[in-house]
Homo-oligomer: A and B are copies of this chain.
């Protein structure tokens, strides 16, 4: 078809963008290369001009998703101090909100890819682990701003525990959304209340 280098790079990004969404929603093995390419606006064959294999794409997807996830987090943490809520409060409430629960495709990639990378291992898992560490650092910053002093536990430790609870609550809420929506909301609410008081 003939396409400029610039346009080709755009197209590569479009494929990755489609994959970061679809892989979170349905899992890597739940999305075929043909469907993926179609969803990005191309036909199947072109895939291999950009990636060596589907596994190669998975690695690129985790890198991209983690970078994007970190950007979202940082932006959220230092968001314009609109409203009276603290950073901490806003972060928790947003993370455990219905819109976030229902938006697996562009929601927190740590929650969306956790099970995937535990089975994949390798490079994607390394990217994921780096992304997790970055997130913990940002959250520790939020806790510091909150003045969440604790003689026994470091900020990092507290951030890891908080993030674990948030991720668990989100994954559990998502796991029963379709058949038990009331239970799903109850899970979010119980965790919001548990995290309402300072940890």
Contact = CB atoms under 8 A, between A and B. Distances in A.
Size range of the interface on A?
A: 35 or more
A175 interface: yes
A179 interface: yes
Contacts of A93: none
Contacts of A80: none
Contacts of A186: 160
A158 B199 CA distance: 14
A121 B178 contact: yes
A129 B174 CA distance: 11
Contacts of A128: 175-176
Contact of A194 (B158, B174, B175): B158
A179 B29 contact: no
8 contacts: A110-B172, A114-B171, A115-B116, A115-B175, A132-B183, A156-B190, A157-B189, A157-B193
Q: Lowest 3 A-B CB distances belong to which pairs? A: A168-B168, A161-B194, A160-B190
